[in-house]
Amino acid sequence: MIIARWGADPQAAGVVMDIILGFRAHSGWAMAAAVAVTGGTPSVLDRRRIEITGAGLPRQPYHEVEEWPLHSAEPYLARCMKESNRLAGERIGELCRYVAAHGKVLGGALLVGSGRSAITVAEALSSHPRLHTAEGEMYRAAIRAGCAEHGITVSDVPEKTLWETATRRLRLTEEQLRDRLAAIGRALGPPWTQDEKFASLAAWSAADGLTSSEGNATRPTG
């Protein structure tokens, strides 16, 4: 398992970690990061790209049906959504099982835009910019559905105010946050792009207030 930490190693002390999943969705895929926070110290347990487009289906399904009649577009899009939801559930389940040795997943954080989210198929097909809006929401909805399948409650985190939110919740300056993320990235090695950083930061900032009755407890020995 790939782990990078800033600070001391909680596993060495036999600590059960509370884990938060962070997600940044794109067309057909999402970046997922599993972050544990112990005593204010973040540990990136894993980060991975999860594919949530079905085999043979387009990454931009609303663009695919832009010129279709509504009665044909709606069932096709429903099929694409169903397949994305299924794949998100599978991939998130794999991630949860991968990090299970370190603790319990308590919740998730999903980066979202600042625009309108829920629109109908008819509205989406009425203008080209709305196609992008609908596709973004489709894949974010798939992440939410995949998390719900595993009992994970997801909080939306507006990407536009991510740094502001993180500094307020974590009581660190933006410079301190960037330094710590950079240190984690150096320990992890590439890739450590904006996707990995933002997904990890969203999860880290969402950890504030998310603690389990068993979290941060010492593992029994023997």
3-41: per-residue pLDDT in tens?
Answer: 454 433 444 445 678 999 999 999 999 999 999 988 778
What's the CA gap between 189 and 183, in Å, rounded?
A: 10
Question: For position 214, what pLDDT does the model report?
Answer: 41
- Full residue range of the structural domain in which residue 196 is found: 4-206
**Secondary-structure breakdown of the chain: helix, strand, coil percentages, each rounded to the nearest 5:** 50, 20, 30
Question: For position 211, what pLDDT does the model report?
Answer: 55
Residue 42 lies in a domain: yes
Residue 48 lies in a domain: yes
Residue 154 lies in a domain: yes
109-to-103, 158, 176, 190 alpha-carbon distances in Å = 17, 10, 21, 23
Residue 211 lies in a domain: no
Two structure tokens written together for 82: 């169903």
Residue 215 lies in a domain: no
What's the CA gap between 98 and 103, in Å, rounded?
A: 10
Residue 216 lies in a domain: no
CATH code for position 139? 3.30.420.10
Element (H, E) at 189: none
How confident is the model over 153-184, as pLDDT tens digits? 999 999 999 999 999 999 999 999 999 999 99
Number of domains in the chain: 1
Residue 219 lies in a domain: no
Beta carbons of 137 and 119 less than 8 angstroms apart: yes
Which range (15-19, 29-33, 127-131, 134-138) has the least confidence? Answer: 15-19
How would you classify the pairing of strands 17-25 and 29-38?
A: antiparallel
Q: What is the pTM of this model?
A: 0.88
